[in-house]
Structure 1
């Protein structure tokens, strides 16, 4: 007997922005269209291919540096700077923690990935090596975006096209090729998928590994723990935490095993002053200098504040946020109070925006501000080279505040979306239902 196809939620039937965008390919899906005849993998494959186009546009955006190199101040004025080609400044290294290696400034898994791609880069002149490394890194990042898209689509198989928030976001053009942040984003998305598929031990392991690529996924671990605690799923809670601790321990051992210091990057972070995009840099531009120790303390307080907000929202019966919504809100708190909010930090919001079912209107408003901030940060960074060409400090501070407000706006929309679902209103066009992100043991 043939299996009845699953009816999928179709974004073009309810999201006005999506409906308008669909006009270029024939309009919204009709009432009698055969929706659901193909599995979520079909949507994931198409969206992954589309995402590669956005990364290609990112390469085009950095065309000046690809042709002339990533030296400053040219890479600043042309807004084509990237951390990736910097990996070829050192010779082929025996391990990531050799002198000048990525382990000195990157978390364990990111350091290993940087080192591995460096090993695959043939020796040559400086610019040739940079070009080859950048091309190889772009391929790796495209694959990581595809993994993220597939994970989001698989997490919401009744509405796989919601993964378009990852694949078609304008911020991919400006942020995806800045660093290897997509490694942590992909692992984070896989961890959330494992949680929804009722594999808490695997979820914890993947999220712990993601924490060894960047620290931000620790927010998702806390969100899952809070939801499991709220729903009294002690077994799932302990499995998630056990998996996360084990993965983090393995990551640290990988660093120590080759004689490196896997905690070096955290020491570097602790000694840093306020970075680009930070609210504390705005304070500094206003004339109040804060020492690195004070900024570290404020950043730690931000994590504590995120935990307090998470506990409040997780236990508030009127809101009852799920993992995705809770993670997005907590992540925004951490970012807004952090030492820096880099250009590539925007990548961490993409899978959470998708899983929260936010509308494209909100996504595009936020992305537009991200693009403006991307251009502004390089104009401001060039101040030390040519003040006449650079962006004045007050103007950059204003754009930074606007950007942080846009992040807060996304968090606000996430809470509002969850409240509408809890009040029994019609589901958003993405079809995101809260129970799917509250998986049990």
Structure 2
């Protein structure tokens, strides 16, 4: 009798069998594939494999996203067309606001409100478009700039999905959550976030391949595009501590610091005021639409809690931004300490993607700024952390609800209100609640690893690299005993593991 085959060699996970939500939907077309059904052989040469289908679906989503933004591409934003058509994009607006249409070099000729890698990216596409416009005055520079950015950002989105597929070879259909997401449809080219997302996902892939130096370089560059990829170093520290893999963590961290310094120092030295514009803007920015602080301020205005005279606490904080900044940082730090404690006390070492999602999510929950495109940061992380369709679809619906309410709020800011303020606050609250629910579900699966569907397919952590299947440091069990954290039953851990691979040769 032959040995049981490895899940990687046999067949990939099928959502209609493993995911309750998809299994329920499949009843409309006859239910999941039966036990004796003839299945296509994945080893035969055939073009439309699962990864290719999923990549094609993302290309379709990105094409529809381009169509959705097409009413704004000419830059003729009369009668608030950018809001009535839901097609506003920073990419086009900032081509003019940052002086790229005049040939201004980012940071040298004009302070840029973004970290340097994003500024470099803007200049690398914007300055050639300006030069082309000088040679051919009849072209619409803004439209060319937007389309050039849309093409490159779409390519980065496809590359990010390819990396997710590479990280989940046994579970390719998890990546369909990303490919078909309405979040990608409406926000893919609102800003340059896919630049940082691609660098972060490539960094996770490099770590999974046990290339800590390359992973650190990519995460450092990602942090120089948008800050959040650097947050992934926090989970790496805690997991490395638990698994006695600190040398690899320090290699990745040193590489991230070097990469960040290499791209930042020249601009900081030569154009310090322009370089520091990003930091100053974040210190000075007031409470942004849709944040937890915005919701709290609305509640203050309705209930008038009586703190500081006629002001409630959230209204008072909105008038004292430095205090708000400190409270926001403190709450984020406390939440991260809680995540670290969870990682050290959990019955099994959590997966890297689970902790990365939690850290980025709590940063957004407690931040005073949550721009509409920031939701893209969470999408690849939740796909890797908890690829369950039902909860992610509920969150996506809440995000689309917020997206439409936000544009109505923008229309109302310039004149007659379009929707009641309470409706916008409700949409904002639902978004926050659904993100909080996702955090709760991820935490539950960390504490009860037998519920983690990824661990039903993989033995431990497919993203873990040197952490994958590494034993815990000896002090971990001692710490759990001292804190009287009861271990999970041994059977729960065994159930969650896939069969061992069949020896080859």
Provide the TM-score with structure 1 as the length reference: 0.89
Cα 1:17–1:125 shift into 2, 3 Å:
farther
1:33 matched to 2:39: yes
Of 188-197 and 311-320, deviating more is 311-320
Aligned residue for 2:16? 12
User: Structure 1 residues 107 and 387, CA, compared in 2 at 3 Å: closer, same or farther?
Assistant: same
How many angstroms does 1:427 deviate by? Answer: 3.7
- Equivalent residue in structure 2 for 1:115, among 110, 123, 137: 123
Aligned residues of 1:87 and 1:114 also touching (Cα < 8 A):
no
SS in 1 for 2:89: coil
Are the aligned partners of 1:10 and 1:429 in contact in 2 as well (CA < 8 Å)? no
Contact 1:81 1:178 (C-alpha < 8 Å) held by counterparts: yes
Is the contact between residue 346 and residue 446 of structure 2 (CA under 8 Å) also seen in structure 1? no
Q: Flag the structure with larger Rg.
A: 2
Matched, 1:262 2:275: yes
1:394 aligns with 2:404: no
Question: What displacement does 1:51 show?
Answer: 1.1
> Which of 332, 346, 365 lines up with 1:317 in the alignment?
346
Corresponding residue number in structure 2 for 1:73? 80
Pick one of 308, 318, 322 that aligns with 1:293. Answer: 322
**Distance in 2, Cα, partners of 1:178 & 1:78:** 14
CA–CA distance in structure 2, aligned partners of residues 185 and 320 of structure 1: 25
| C-alpha displacement of 1:198 | 1.0
Structure 1 residue 211, shift from structure 2 partner: 0.7
Greater mean deviation of Cα atoms: 296-305 or 129-138: 296-305
CA 344–425 in structure 1, closer or farther in 2 if over 3 Å, else same: closer
Distance 1:314 1:36, change over 3 A: farther
Query: Does the CA contact (< 8 Å) of 2:174 and 2:387 recur in 1?
Result: no
**Structure 2 equivalent of residue 97 of structure 1:** 107
Equivalent residues of 2:386, 2:452 under 8 A apart: no
Residue 154 (structure 2) pairs with residue 145 (structure 1): no
Report the CA distance between 1:319 and its aligned residue: 6.0
Q: Distance in 1 between matches of 2:254 and 2:424?
A: 43
Q: How does 1:342-357 map to 2 (within 5 A)?
A: 342-357=371-386
- Provide the aligned length of Structure 1 versus Structure 2: 434
Could you give the per-residue CA deviations for residues 386-415 of structure 1, whole angstroms, max 9, x where no partner exists?
Answer: 224x22222211211111011111111212
Counterpart among 140, 145, 148 of residue 128 in structure 1: 140
Moved over 6 A (4+): 20-27, 38-41, 124-127
Q: CA deviation at 1:417?
A: 3.0
Q: CA deviation at 1:363?
A: 1.0
Q: 2:284 aligns with which of 271, 277, 296?
A: 271
Tell me whether 300-309 or 404-413 shows the greater mean CA deviation.
300-309
Give ranges in structure 1 of 5+ residues lacking alignment: none
Give unmatched runs, 5+ long, in structure 2.
Answer: 302-314, 468-505
**Contact conserved, 1:184 with 1:211, CA < 8 A, in 2?**
yes
> Match for residue 369 of structure 1?
398
Structure 1 position 437, deviation (Å) = 2.9
CA shift for structure 1 position 257? 6.5
Q: Which residue of 2 aligns with 1:435?
A: 461
